[in-house]
Structure 1
Amino acid sequence: MATVPELKRKTCTYSFHREPLTSLIEFSNLVTGGNQKVFVDQYGDLLTLLKMVVDPVPLQTLLQFYDPELRCFTFQDYQLAPTLEEYSILMNVPIRYQVPFLDVPKEVDFRIVAKALYLSIKEVGDNWKSSGDVVGLPLKFLVRMAKEEAKKGNWEAFNAQLAILIYGVVLFPSMPNFVDFAVVTIFIGGNPVPTLLADTYYAIHSRHGKGGAIRCCLPLLLRWFLSLLPTSGPFVDTQNTHKWTQRIMSLTSYDIKWQAYRLNVRSVIMSCGEFHNVPLIGTKGCINYNPVLSLRQLGFVMNGRPIDAEIVESVYFEKRSDPARLEQVGKAWKTIGVKGGAVLGKKFAVAMPDYIDWVRNRVVTLLLPYDRMESLQEQPPLILSENVPAEHYKQALMENRRHTR
């Protein structure tokens, strides 16, 4: 495939460590039949994330395209950014329109912890330990208790203990062999998606340009990325003959799976309180993301170019050490700015020329990490007029002709 030489941005090497999952996978195999449905209904699709094999190569490739100013991944003519709504769908866990996890309580209430984990207050108190500067429960204790509940056939208790193990090891990996109080607090709150997204952005942003370990829910990040890529055709057919970087650089906005399950999204959290974007607090720090850049992923038309000043307003990135920031974000989440089809427009995942030009101009400044490649797939794909609103169909045809000249 021919390449076009041009200046390229510097790349970094990242590492993706996962704790051993053998005992948890053995536990998950016990969740069968009707109990499996009970588990998924209560805790979401945790078992899929647990069993997912994390291939570091696509993640390594993805992170090279991170755009730190806009909190997204900027490719040659499109942008991708994980959203609250996508994480919610992929996990099968609804987002509660309430203040999410902000911080751990100053005092531990063993009664609440015991009730959530189906343990006795004495069991929690006797096994509550400190590890470094945090407190929580040793992994081996929770594994032992889950084994006992499985032997007794107490599946309600077993499900809760397996879920908290997956929270501690897969969703919110912090330290080996330990489930800290922050993870227990998130589990009890039952609204993990905002914290998961916060940890994802924070981990990527904090290591951008430096390389090193990315600590977040890697299976969820990878599942999100793969859900947007072609699942058939030349992109898949060349997986054994071309590098991941070459295959990704061959993709254009026409090749991305913009719709699929995302068409079910009817409303989007666009802002919170005084913020024009969405502030997030994770287990390690504070950050925000810009859902306006992800509307096309969620099936909406990207109509017109974004305005940089409006997008990046109130952007911040910092550790969790500022109580004033925690209070500010907590207050903002009490007024959630949700927008639906009446405001965002009809569902049709297309980008207007102004937006695509805006992305291409941004790439000129930001640079791409790898050489451009000729498209593997025929451009553009077929657009069926009967499935598209008339005004969008006409615009899409004009856009297609513009790109095929």
Structure 2
Amino acid sequence: MAAIPELKRKTCTYSFHREPLTSLVELSNLVTGCNQKAFDEQYGDILTLLKMVVDPVPLQTLLQFYDPELRCFTFQDYQLAPTLEEYSILMNVRIRYQVPFLDVPKEVDFRVVAKALHLSIKEVSDNWKPSGDVVGLPLKYLVRMAKEEAKKGNWEAFNAQLSIMIYGVVLFPSMPNFVDLAAITIFIGGNPVPTLLADTYYAIHSRHGKGGAIRCCLQLLLKWFLSFLPTSGPFVDTQSTHKWTQRIMSLTSYDIKWQAYRFYVRNVIMSCGGFCNVPLIGTKGCVNYNPVLSLRQLGFVMSERPLDVEIAESVYFEKRSDPARLEKMGKAWESIGVKDGSVLGKKFAIVMPAYIEWVKDRVETLLLPYDRMEPLQEQPPLIHSENVPAEYYKRALMENRQLKEKEQNIQMQLYKAKTDKLNLAHKLKDAQGEDASRLRTKANYQKKIRDLEKQLRDKDVQLKKEVDLRHASESQLRGEVVELRKQLKEKPTPLPECSECDLLIDQCQYLKTLIPGGRRS
């Protein structure tokens, strides 16, 4: 794979804030069976994000392609930009068509917080603390309360407390080991997707060209990016020999996965109020994004270049700097502009030459951050739309894409089958280990029973010997009684048969006193 030298734009070094999640992962392992189903239905697929390992290299590479003017990632012949709909599907949390999170309340209502977290008002107020410039609850306290609820088997309270910790540490990170009021407010509101996307764009946009720490839900951003990349073939095969930058620069629009869940999207939020694009309100700041650039990601046809008004910067500011504008954005979300297939057209997930040429022109202006690389795999022959009727051109592109998607789906199924086989092998090994442990336990138990039975048999023998000795003593005493009575030359009174040695001894001693000078040992 050869590099093609050319002019490149400057790259930046980013760092990614990642808190230790061991305590939360341990708690999440308690969510099993029916309780896990109830958890996922209520809070979405946030446990997957919690357990996801964040590899900084793909994120570092992705951020070099950020196009600040267009609010997207511009590659050599295609563009990618995270959308509300994609984040909703990746999290399995629906978007509510309502005004999203605007800001934290000026006064905290401990009753509302306590009810949402299944805690008492006194517990919340006693543990409410400041941390930096925010207020909220320490993670250590919430972990302790969740463990207590798990011991009680109160899974409804446990699920709520685990979820708010994931909100505060993974989805909306603010201060280390702390769940702030913003995360709690969003959790109570039940509409996290718009704020998550806002934090993603704001964090990337505010650090572009400067580098530094990116603070947002890194797990979700990485999951979104990886969903487009090939899962088999040369891209995967060369991971040990080529850098991420080289592998990404070798990809073309043909290699990107445009299918999967994106075909299930029917309605797309395209604008809000008087904004021609979508203004996003995050926990720290506000920024707009341009859904028109992401239509192919959602399965629709990109027929031509977007209008300037659809991609113009409309919002970017720190929330505290402009309360009036923040209020205006909130009112804009009261009128959400949604478009469906009747407006956006059929779902072919293809692009027209006019759009491709526009992207290439944009690359010439923006420049790419790395040298171009030879494609990893053979590219399909280019079909020019002006040479064939538009209907056949679209159909050919669609069929070609469907074949590619079918191949990728089969590869994914194969990969899943291999993964399932590996998991089953691990489970079988664990089960065999458990069986061996149970057998050892059973053998130990049976040995203990045999030991007890032997002890009982030995005890029986000992008791039998003691009884025989007692009977012999009784017989000897009876003989002595008879002998003593003969010495008294009296007709002996028949004694009742008695097995009690003490009675015989008493009678023997009494008879001895009746014999003159008679004392026998």
d(CA) in 2 for partners of 1:219, 1:268: 23
Q: Is the 1:140–1:177 Cα contact (8 Å) retained in structure 2?
A: yes
d(CA) in 1 for partners of 2:285, 2:261: 30
The equivalent residue for 1:402 is none
The equivalent residue for 1:189 is 189
1:382 CA drift (Å) = 12
1:395 CA drift (Å) = 5.7
The equivalent residue for 1:3 is 3
d(CA) in 2 for partners of 1:201, 1:336: 20
Other structure's SS at 1:288 match = strand
d(CA) in 2 for partners of 1:44, 1:321: 33
Within-5 A mapping of 1:360-375: 360-375=360-375
The equivalent residue for 1:38 is 38
Q: Is the 1:287–1:315 Cα contact (8 Å) retained in structure 2?
A: yes
**AA matched with 1:334:** E
d(CA) in 2 for partners of 1:327, 1:198: 16
**AA matched with 1:83:** T
Does 2:137 match 1:141? no
The equivalent residue for 1:219 is 219
d(CA) in 2 for partners of 1:127, 1:235: 50
Report Cα offsets for 1:211-261 as digits up to 9, x if no partner. Answer: 111000000000000001111111111111111000000000111111111
1:310 CA drift (Å) = 3.5
Report Cα offsets for 1:108-162 as digits up to 9, x if no partner. Answer: 1111101100001111111111122221111111111001001111000000000
Aligned residues: 394
Does 2:395 match 1:393? yes
The equivalent residue for 1:280 is 280
The equivalent residue for 1:97 is 97
Task: Name whichever of 315-324 and 57-66 sits farther off.
Answer: 315-324
**Percentage identity across paired residues of the two chains:** 85
The equivalent residue for 2:355 is 355
Q: Is the 1:80–1:293 Cα contact (8 Å) retained in structure 2?
A: yes
Q: Is the 2:285–2:316 Cα contact (8 Å) retained in structure 1?
A: no
1:2 CA drift (Å) = 1.9
d(CA) in 2 for partners of 1:287, 1:17: 21
Q: Is the 1:276–1:313 Cα contact (8 Å) retained in structure 2?
A: no
d(CA) in 1 for partners of 2:225, 2:397: 28
TM-score by length of 1: 0.94
d(CA) in 2 for partners of 1:313, 1:24: 39
**AA matched with 2:355:** Y
d(CA) in 1 for partners of 2:53, 2:171: 14
The equivalent residue for 1:386 is none
Q: Is the 2:138–2:178 Cα contact (8 Å) retained in structure 1?
A: yes
**AA matched with 1:135:** V
d(CA) in 1 for partners of 2:382, 2:88: 30
Other structure's SS at 1:338 match = strand
The equivalent residue for 1:403 is none
d(CA) in 2 for partners of 1:83, 1:91: 12
Structure 2 unaligned spans of 5+ = 384-390, 402-521
1:204 CA drift (Å) = 0.4
Q: Is the 1:129–1:138 Cα contact (8 Å) retained in structure 2?
A: yes
**AA matched with 2:193:** V
Within-5 A mapping of 1:3-402: 3-312=3-312, 314-380=314-380, 392-394=394-396
Report Cα offsets for 1:363-394 as digits up to 9, x if no partner. Answer: 001000000001002212999xxxxx856214
Q: Relative to 1, partners in 2 of residues 1:313 and 1:130: Cα closer, same or farther, differing over 3 Å?
A: closer
d(CA) in 1 for partners of 2:100, 2:284: 15
Q: Relative to 1, partners in 2 of residues 1:31 and 1:2: Cα closer, same or farther, differing over 3 Å?
A: same
In terms of fraction of residues, the more helix-rich structure is 2
d(CA) in 1 for partners of 2:381, 2:122: 63
d(CA) in 2 for partners of 1:78, 1:71: 14
**AA matched with 1:245:** T
d(CA) in 2 for partners of 1:167, 1:40: 14
Q: Is the 2:292–2:310 Cα contact (8 Å) retained in structure 1?
A: no
Other structure's SS at 1:136 match = strand
Q: Is the 1:114–1:120 Cα contact (8 Å) retained in structure 2?
A: yes
d(CA) in 1 for partners of 2:169, 2:210: 25
d(CA) in 2 for partners of 1:270, 1:287: 15
Report Cα offsets for 1:179-204 as digits up to 9, x if no partner. Answer: 11111000000000000000000000
d(CA) in 2 for partners of 1:106, 1:390: 60
d(CA) in 2 for partners of 1:123, 1:398: 61
**AA matched with 2:240:** N
Other structure's SS at 2:321 match = coil
Q: Is the 2:230–2:236 Cα contact (8 Å) retained in structure 1?
A: yes
d(CA) in 2 for partners of 1:382, 1:355: 15
d(CA) in 1 for partners of 2:339, 2:251: 30
d(CA) in 1 for partners of 2:398, 2:358: 17
d(CA) in 1 for partners of 2:9, 2:226: 23
**Bigger radius of gyration:** 2
Report Cα offsets for 1:29-61 as digits up to 9, x if no partner. Answer: 000001001000000001100000100000000
d(CA) in 1 for partners of 2:319, 2:65: 24
Other structure's SS at 1:137 match = strand
1:315 CA drift (Å) = 4.0
Report Cα offsets for 1:153-175 as digits up to 9, x if no partner. Answer: 10000000000000011001100
TM-score by length of 2: 0.74
Other structure's SS at 1:37 match = helix
Other structure's SS at 1:194 match = helix
Which of 1 and 2 has higher RCO (CA within 8 Å, sep 6+)?
1
Root mean square deviation, CA, Å: 1.7
d(CA) in 2 for partners of 1:391, 1:377: 23
